[in-house]
């Protein structure tokens, strides 16, 4: 009897002790916050920059996610991953982040009302996706796999699905999930930022302007203040400019203009160079059929060389290219009638992107037009990353190069295209040396010292720049019939839209990012797929194992337990 009481007392004390420990753990968890991520690639861990931003939130962020309703398995996975990411964000913000999942067309049966909602979501910046279901009967459904981030009076769209040409649905979905942290943190950063950064497009040297770059300017104006900058109107590049874009100059730069840009860089300014050396225009080629490309003579060679790159006086042909239409038939009166699309080797499609760099990771194909090559030059203190390259089958023509439009009628021979993977876009980061180092007279320096807010420097603060050997990468086509610019990257002959706009925006995000948020764009989530053939072959075995296995385990456990109990208390 005494032993029984002792046993009961010990059992009660054990239970009470366990309860005390549980209560203590709960109390400590409210004071000390920590999370554990056991995945190899850190799937459930946020970057330090994102954590710092979320901790410092001053007001409530609301996120409306348009992923509610009946979806295929892939979109359900995207929905669950989005919820997990927002929960991770909320772990650092407490109640300062609220989210809800919405079906925008729930209980909406009227076609006109659906059209109004559809237009409103597109106006907000969300991209629609069409789901085609063909089970018992054909049906089509439009969804908006995106979200709207709301902070005070600001709203920013987040498109969750990252479409990529030439990749399977599972890989596209996986890449979209890997970018969730960047997309949400980037939108939140834009919401909480006081004022918009200023982007200046250089003019005065025959650069692209107006209708030629209208689409990208409209796109960027959501996030940035856009302006033009003519260097002849300023003593120096205004310090309010955060990023300077040089969009396809065609006229010579004076030494004074070069000096102004150089000192802008030396004082921490960021520049995106979209520069090509050969003067080749498609409109001129269609009128003449063939001509020799001429040099622009921009006078930028020494400047770019000093920073660590050289744009060569050449143009590439690439078997991976966009087509152009040519007339192949005429009517009885001799008027051109029939047109056919031919691959145009001078319009390369860049799919070889640097998957390690935040600008080009998971980026769709980018279209080019009459693109040169870039060499990198060793410069101490400057890090260089190749962003875009041509395909495996590339040929290079140096100046003087004759361009013949009738070449499209000949089948290209792959064995002649041996200059594989030629660099066409480079990101530079570090401390650059001034091209005017030890070149200025004492009197000139004295004059410069009188300019308010100007500091003459021979080496730069830590800064960044991007060099692309294709000025047309930022140029949109224009729809004359409807008097409006076509979307940047849109090919009107094939109705394809390339990722030129995304490339430009990502590049500017990288240049303008001082917080480190852009690093989260390099995050990688490994795709671990089952072997489809093996699953099909062994499906029945694993189904039986999962049904019968647990039953056998329970039966064995019961038999063994009873056997041990009988032996102990027999």
**pLDDT for residue 138:** 46
**pLDDT for residue 24:** 80
**CATH class of the domain at 48-191:** alpha beta
**pLDDT for residue 4:** 57
The structure's pTM equals: 0.78
> DSSP state, 424?
E
Residue 426 CA to residue 387 CA, distance in Å, equals 5
Query: What residue ranges do the domains of the chain occupy?
Result: 48-191, 196-522, 533-570
Place of tokens 């969730």: 180
For residue 91, which of 53, 34, 28, 148 has the smallest C-alpha distance? Answer: 34
Angle CA(484)–CA(122)–CA(76) in degrees, nearest 5? Answer: 140
Place of tokens 């992923």: 67
Structure tokens of 268?
Answer: 């921490």
Residue 30 CA to residue 98 CA, distance in Å, equals 20
For residue 437, which of 296, 277, 266, 312 has the smallest C-alpha distance? Answer: 266
* Number of neighbouring beta carbons within 10 Å of residue 281: 15
Place of tokens 């979501």: 121
| Residues 6 or more apart in contact with residue 241 via CB below 8 angstroms | 198, 199, 200, 229, 264, 269
For 370-395, b/e burial (b = at least 16 CB within 10 A) is bbbbbebeebeebebbbbbbbbebbb
Integer distance in angstroms from the first to the last C-alpha of the chain? 20
pLDDT by residue, tens only, the chain of 570 residues:
555 556 667 667 777 887 888 888 777 665 555 555 555 555 567 888 888 888 888 888 999 999 887 777 778 888 888 998 998 888 888 778 899 998 888 877 788 888 888 888 888 888 887 766 555 554 567 788 889 999 888 888 888 887 666 566 677 777 788 888 888 988 888 888 878 899 999 999 999 999 999 999 998 888 899 999 999 998 889 989 999 999 999 999 999 999 999 999 999 999 999 999 998 887 777 777 677 888 999 999 999 999 999 999 999 999 999 988 877 665 555 555 677 888 899 999 998 887 888 899 888 899 999 999 999 999 999 999 999 999 999 999 888 878 888 787 788 888 889 899 999 999 999 999 999 988 876 666 766 766 766 778 889 999 999 999 999 999 999 888 888 889 899 988 888 889 999 899 999 999 988 777 877 776 665 555 556 667 677 778 878 888 888 888 888 888 887 888 777 766
Structure tokens of 479?
Answer: 């729809």
Under DSSP, is residue 347 helix (H, G, I), strand (E, B) or coil? strand
Place of tokens 């000192």: 263
CB 479 within 8 A of CB 486: yes
CB 427 within 8 A of CB 522: no
Task: Give helix then strand counts, H and E, for the chain.
Answer: 13, 29
Residue 347 CA to residue 106 CA, distance in Å, equals 45
Residue 506 CA to residue 504 CA, distance in Å, equals 6
Residue 389 CA to residue 392 CA, distance in Å, equals 9
Angle CA(57)–CA(58)–CA(64) in degrees, nearest 5? Answer: 65
For residue 276, which of 304, 237, 255, 254 has the smallest C-alpha distance? Answer: 304
CB 401 within 8 A of CB 201: no
What 43-46 contacts at long range (C-beta under 8 Å, 24+ apart), as own/partner pairs, is 43/525, 44/84, 44/88, 46/88, 46/89, 46/92, 46/181, 46/185, 46/520
| Residues 6 or more apart in contact with residue 513 via CB below 8 angstroms | none
| Domain with residues 196-522, CATH architecture | 3-Layer(aba) Sandwich (3.40)
For residue 304, which of 277, 267, 341 has the smallest C-alpha distance? Answer: 277
| Residues 6 or more apart in contact with residue 72 via CB below 8 angstroms | 131
Alpha helices in 37-110 (DSSP H): 48-55, 73-93
CB 401 within 8 A of CB 292: yes
Helix (H) or strand (E) holding 142: strand 138-143
DSSP readout, 515-533?
Answer: SSGGGGGG---------HH
The phi, psi pair for 295, rounded to 5°, reads -90, 145
303 to 50, 201, 295, 434, 516: CA distances (angstroms): 36, 19, 17, 8, 28
Residue 495 CA to residue 371 CA, distance in Å, equals 22
* Number of neighbouring beta carbons within 10 Å of residue 290: 11
**pLDDT for residue 140:** 64
């Amino acid at each position: 009897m005494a032993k029984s009481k002792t046993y009961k007392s010990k059992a009660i004390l054990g239970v009470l002790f366990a309860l005390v420990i549980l209560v203590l753990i709960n109390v400590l968890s409210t004071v000390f916050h920590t999370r554990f991520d056991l995945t190899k690639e850190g799937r459930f861990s946020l970057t330090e920059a994102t954590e710092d931003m979320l901790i410092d939130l001053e007001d409530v962020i609301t996120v409306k996610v348009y992923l509610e309703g009946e979806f295929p398995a892939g979109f359900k996975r995207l929905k669950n991953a989005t919820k997990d990411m927002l929960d991770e964000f909320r772990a650092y913000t407490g109640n300062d982040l609220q989210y809800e999942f919405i079906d925008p067309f729930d209980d909406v049966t009227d076609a006109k009302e659906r059209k109004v909602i559809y237009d409103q979501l597109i106006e907000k910046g969300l991209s629609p996706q069409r789901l085609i279901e063909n089970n018992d009967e054909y049906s089509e459904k439009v969804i908006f796999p995106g979200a709207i981030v709301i902070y005070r009076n600001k709203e920013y769209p987040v498109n969750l699905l990252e479409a990529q040409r030439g990749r399977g649905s599972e890989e596209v979905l996986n890449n979209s999930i890997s970018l969730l942290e960047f997309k949400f943190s980037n939108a939140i950063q834009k919401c909480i930022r006081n004022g918009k950064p200023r982007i200046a497009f250089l003019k005065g040297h025959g650069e692209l302007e107006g209708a030629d770059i209208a689409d990208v300017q409209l796109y960027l104006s959501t996030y940035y203040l856009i302006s033009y900058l003519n260097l002849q109107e300023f003593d120096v590049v205004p310090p309010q400019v955060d990023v300077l874009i040089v969009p396809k100059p065609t006229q010579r730069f004076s030494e004074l203009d070069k000096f102004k840009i150089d000192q802008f860089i030396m004082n921490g300014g960021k520049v995106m160079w979209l520069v090509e050396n050969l003067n080749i225009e498609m409109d001129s080629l269609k009128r003449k059929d063939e001509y020799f490309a001429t040099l622009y003579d921009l006078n930028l060679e020494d400047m770019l060389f000093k920073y660590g790159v050289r744009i060569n006086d050449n143009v590439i042909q690439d078997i991976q290219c966009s087509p152009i239409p040519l007339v192949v038939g005429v009517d009885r009166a001799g008027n051109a009638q029939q047109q056919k699309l031919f691959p145009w080797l001078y319009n390369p499609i860049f799919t070889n992107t640097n998957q390690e760099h935040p600008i080009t990771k998971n980026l769709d194909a980018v279209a080019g037009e009459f693109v040169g090559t870039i060499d990198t030059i060793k410069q101490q203190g400057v890090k260089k990353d190749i962003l875009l390259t041509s395909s495996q089958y590339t040929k290079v023509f140096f100046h003087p190069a004759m361009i013949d439009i009738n070449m499209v009628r000949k089948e290209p021979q792959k064995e002649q295209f041996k200059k594989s993977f030629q660099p066409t876009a480079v990101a530079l980061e570090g401390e650059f040396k001034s091209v005017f180092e030890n070149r200025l007279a004492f009197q000139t320096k004295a004059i410069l010292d009188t300019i308010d807010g100007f500091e003459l420097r021979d080496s730069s603060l830590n800064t960044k720049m991007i060099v692309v050997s294709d000025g047309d990468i930022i140029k949109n086509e224009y729809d004359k019939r409807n008097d409006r610019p076509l979307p940047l990257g849109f090919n009107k002959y094939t109705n394809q839209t390339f990722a030129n706009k995304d490339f430009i925006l990502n590049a500017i995000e990288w240049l303008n990012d001082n917080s480190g948020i852009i690093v989260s764009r390099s995050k990688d989530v490994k795709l671990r797929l089952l072997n489809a053939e093996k699953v099909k072959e062994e499906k029945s075995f694993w189904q039986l194992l999962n049904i019968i296995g647990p039953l056998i385990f329970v039966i064995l456990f019961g038999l063994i337990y009873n056997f041990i109990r009988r032996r102990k208390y027999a």
